[in-house]
Amino acid sequence: MQVRAGRQREGMVPPLEFPYNICTPGMRTVMPRTRANTPRLSANAMTVLRRRYLAKSASGNPVETPAQMFRRVADNIAEAEHLYTASATGRAGSGRAGRLSVAEAFSRMMSRLEFLPNSPTLMNAGRDLQQLSACFVLPVEDSLESIFDTVKHQALIHQSGGGTGFAFSHLRPQNDRVSSTSGIASGPVSFMRIFNTATDVIKQGGTRRGANMGILRVDHPDILEFIAVKQDPKEMTNFNLSVGITDAFMSALERQRDYALVNPRTGRAVSRVRASVVFDRIVEAAWNTGEPGVIFLDTINAQQPTLQIGRIEATNPCVTAETWVQTEKGPRQVRDLIGIQFVAQVNGKPYVTGYEGFFHTGTKPVLILRTVEGYMLRLTSNHRIRRVIRKTRYSLEGEWCQAGDLRCGDEVLLNDHRAHPTWSGSHSFEEGYLLGLLVGDGVLKKEKAVLSVWQVAGVGVGAVMSEALRCAQTLPHRQDFKGWQNVASRGESRLALASLRDLAIEYGMEPGNKIISFQVEQGSSDFYRGFLRAFFDTDGSVQGGFAKGISIRLAQSDLARLQSVQRMLLRLGIVSTIYMNRRREGTRLLPDGKGGRKEYSTCPQHWVFRLDEGGQAFSPPGCLSPAPQPGALSRPC
């Protein structure tokens, strides 16, 4: 087919100057004059290029040729050469000369059709959008806010030329309870239709329709509906579907047994089904329409070569190993949850994790998020945080944002544990109370632990002594145990127990170092109440009155202790604030233990402060019901 010259129109290059050859099958090709790197493209290829890939003018006419497109892409990709030097790459010619060489080689490979990048790169490289990725996997969590946030992100990605994949397995099943509205859930398939419709109305960058991948785990209660949905040719026309197959399912299939369908909201099995029945449905549907496919989740993650970066089809925790997480079994650190499925407690509600819980994602830069109240978290900059966007006297409205987008003065929402302030675990209220007294006003020796109270402390000391004696009698003790012993010359009473020493050592303490260890923070809620009550009994105070409000304060020189207490209070549903350096370090006249006073050097003192709104009386920690308090962001660094 002869390419003939004609009148040049807007946005068109004279035909004989087109640096491409048109090849029509079954006909002799007449090749015009060409330049170097001339692409050989079919008529169909040229039609697709003009419609979707070549840059266009405002009126929609192409303003570049295929060779110019390839050169645009090659020049843009070669810009990465600026990041390297000859010493770094070990080759000569890096820098400008190296970049030009790479651009020339890449352009030549594309022109010869030896290699072509993905569609977004051909469309967007070297242009304003500069979005070169083709595939995005977006999280879909079990809330309307998360679902429609993801729909928005899907639309923006499709507009830029990318495609999207979703795992809908976190969504609660059809007819499950929705506590916020006292209604019932419509299930993941119904929400997939929203994603499908959004794709219908968004053309990718004015070039092509969007494409989606939808995955549902084989143990989701709605799996049979998911398998069958594309048997109707009008359904999910913008989706490819795959069933997420697990090793547990394949084992049940091999043994001709049934397996559990698990509600992702509760982590509990709601029914059981024969594995062979589900597998037969998959095979039959795939034979009829080619949908759904299967994806072997456990096999992929067992064999993927980049496990240090993160698991495929799993949620990246993006927090450090010492981070605390509230579980149905009590507080645990991330390092103790690696490779273990568990049920997390978030705002008093249970959320089951994947089969392997947390997992290693490698070594990454982290931020330190601090609030003015003293709460602290180490996390990656892309970890999502709930930020307050609107606050009234009666309501709070928030949005998810990345930690790196927070600024001083922002407010973030704390986890609200008031709906679930109890949990099982090790040790009792009585053991917690004795350890709290020991940390507050006791001495840990090699042979025993000694608790002390002073009669000058006021009328409340009798109640403390009585409660401590009751608790001590629950521990192993000698038959001649006499309880409190008076030290008349000091106005002091002491209670000594070897079993309390053993308990303290079990909880990570040692003589001269009465820390609030991670073992203490992993105790039961009853243990928490005992420990915190005793700690406030020894080092706490109640300030103010009903007219201006009552505040409860705990003073310590050890800031780490106060930070542990603040975390423990929050798990019981009590919000508090740490005030640092309320008393500066210096010297003070203090009792010398001999009936006199002497000047001693003192450390800085910090407070944990709890304002009891409305003049409510203070009760033992864990019995208060404070209003939720968003923490104002102090400094992300």
For 485-539, how does the pLDDT look when each residue is reduced to its tens digit (9 = 90+)? 888 777 788 899 899 999 999 988 888 888 898 899 999 999 999 999 999 888 8
Q: State whether residue 130 is helix, strand or coil.
A: coil
49 compared with 580, residue with greater pLDDT: 49
The CA angle 25-29-34, to the nearest 5 degrees, is: 130
Q: What pLDDT score does 607 carry?
A: 59
| Separation of alpha carbons 48 and 123, rounded Å | 12
Are 113 and 176 contained in the same domain?
no
> Using CA atoms, how far apart are residues 251 and 256, in angstroms rounded to an integer?
9
More confident of the two residues 557 and 230: 230
**What is the share, in percent, of the chain residues with pLDDT greater than 70?**
77
Alpha-helical (H) ranges within 94-209 are 96-111, 119-124, 144-159, 188-201
Cα–Cα distance for residue pair 298/288, rounded to 1 Å: 27
The predicted structure's pLDDT at residue 354: 63
Contact yes or no for 413/396 (Cβ under 8 A): yes
Of 235, 269, 303, the residue that ends a domain is: 303
| 419 in a structural domain | no
Is the same domain home to 65 and 149?
no
Q: Are 492 and 454 in contact (CB under 8 A)?
A: yes
Give the per-residue pLDDT at 95: 61
Residue 546 has pLDDT above 70, yes or no: no
Q: What is the mean pLDDT of the chain?
A: 79
Residues 270, 170 share a domain: yes
Which DSSP category does 306 fall into? Answer: T
Instruction: Please give the pLDDT value at position 588.
Output: 66
Residue 360: predicted pLDDT: 64
Residue 599's φ and ψ, nearest 5 degrees, are -80, 125
C-alpha distances (whole Å) from 535 to each of 69, 143, 465, 475, 515 are 72, 40, 14, 19, 12
Q: For residues 533-570, b (16+ Cβ closer than 10 Å) or e, as one string? A: bbbbbbbbeeeeeeeeebbbbbbbeebebbbbbbbbbb
Q: Does the residue 629 lie in any domain?
A: no
Spatial contact of 187 and 155, defined as CB atoms under 8 Å apart: no
Residue 295, helix vs strand vs coil: strand
Question: In the structure, what pLDDT confidence band is assigned to residue 19 with cuts at 50, 70 and 90?
Answer: very low
Pick the closest to residue 84 from 64, 70, 100, 98 (CA basis).
98
User: pLDDT: is 225 or 301 the higher one?
Assistant: 225
Residue 64's pLDDT band (cuts 50, 70, 90): very high
Contact 406, 369 (CB under 8 A): yes
* CA angle in degrees (0–180, nearest 5) for 561-563-566: 110
Task: Using the predicted structure, report yes or no on whether residue 116 has a pLDDT greater than 80.
Answer: yes
Query: Smallest Cα–Cα separation from 239: which of 273, 197, 202, 188?
Result: 197
Quickly state the pLDDT bin for 9 (edges 50, 70, 90). very low
| Predicted local distance difference test score (pLDDT) of residue 179 | 67
Is residue 225 domain-shared with residue 97, that is, in the same domain?
Answer: no
Task: Kindly state whether residues 120 and 165 are assigned to the same domain.
Answer: no
Arithmetic mean of pLDDT, 48-77: 90
Specify if 318 maps to a domain: no
Distance from C-alpha of 74 to C-alpha of 518, rounded to nearest angstrom: 55
Q: Are 364 and 269 in the same domain?
A: no
Q: How many domains does the chain have?
A: 4
Residue 431 has pLDDT above 90, yes or no: yes
Residue 631 located in a structural domain: no
Q: How confident is the model at residue 202 (pLDDT cuts 50, 70, 90)?
A: confident
Same domain (yes/no): 202, 246: yes
Residue 623, pLDDT > 90, answer no
Highest mean pLDDT (candidates 91-105, 274-288, 346-360, 481-495): 274-288
pLDDT category at 601 given cuts 50, 70, 90 is: low
Do 37 and 75 lie in one domain? The reply is yes
Structure tokens at 525: 């809620």
**Most confident segment among 11-20, 282-291, 347-356, 592-601:** 282-291
DSSP-based three-state secondary structure for 619: coil
Q: pLDDT confidence of 314, banded at 50, 70, 90?
A: very low
Check whether residue 140 and residue 252 sit in a common domain.
yes
* Domain at 441, CATH number: 3.10.28.10
Is pTM beyond 0.75 here?
Answer: no
Q: Are 412 and 385 in contact (CB under 8 A)?
A: yes
Separation between Cα atoms, residue 462 and residue 389, nearest integer Å: 49
CA distance 47 to 64: 14
Give the pLDDT band (50/70/90) at residue 236: very high
Query: Measured in whole angstroms, how far is the alpha carbon of residue 94 from the centre of its chain?
Result: 40
Single out the residue of 529, 530, 506 nearest to residue 518, CA to CA.
506
Closest CA to 364 of 377, 378, 353: 378
Same domain, yes or no, for 441 and 554?
yes
Q: How many CA atoms lie within 13 A of 117 on its CB side?
A: 22
Whether residues 83 and 155 fall in one domain: no
Predicted pLDDT of residue 205? 47
| pLDDT at residue 17 is higher than 50 | no
Do residue 172 and residue 46 come from a single domain?
A: no
Q: How far is CA 43 from CA 6, 20, 21, 63, 127, in A?
A: 18, 11, 9, 18, 26
376 assigned to some structural domain: yes
Cα separation values, 583 from 261, 347, 538, 563, 610, Å: 58, 35, 19, 17, 18
Q: Which of 321, 322, 320, 319 is nearest to 518 (CA)?
A: 322
Tens digits of residue pLDDT in 240-261: 899 999 888 999 999 999 999 9
Classify burial at 371, counting beta carbons within 10 Å of its beta carbon; exposed 0-12, middle 13-18, buried 19 or more. buried
Per the domain annotation, does 319 fall within a domain?
no
Kindly provide the b/e burial profile for residues 197-217, where b requires at least 16 CB atoms within 10 angstroms of the residue's own CB: ebbeebebbebbebbbbbbbb
Two structure tokens written together for 626? 């404070």
Please state, in angstroms and rounded to a whole number, the distance separating the CA atoms of residues 528 and 525: 5
The letter for the amino acid at 137 is V
Q: Two tokens at 39?
A: 């692409």
Q: What strands, in cross-sheet order, belong to the sheet with 163-167?
A: 135-138, 163-167, 212-217, 239-245, 293-296
Higher pLDDT residue, 132 or 85? 132
Instruction: Please give the residue range of the domain that contains residue 184.
Output: 135-303
Average pLDDT score over residue span 537-551: 76
Domain endpoint, select from 357, 377, 412: 412
- Within a domain: 87: yes
CA distance 338 to 149: 29
Q: What is the DSSP string of 6-34?
A: ----TT---GGG---EEE-TTSPPPP---
DSSP codes, 402-437: EGGG--TT-EEPPP--TT------SS-HHHHHHHHH
- Domain final residue, candidates 90, 124, 158: 124
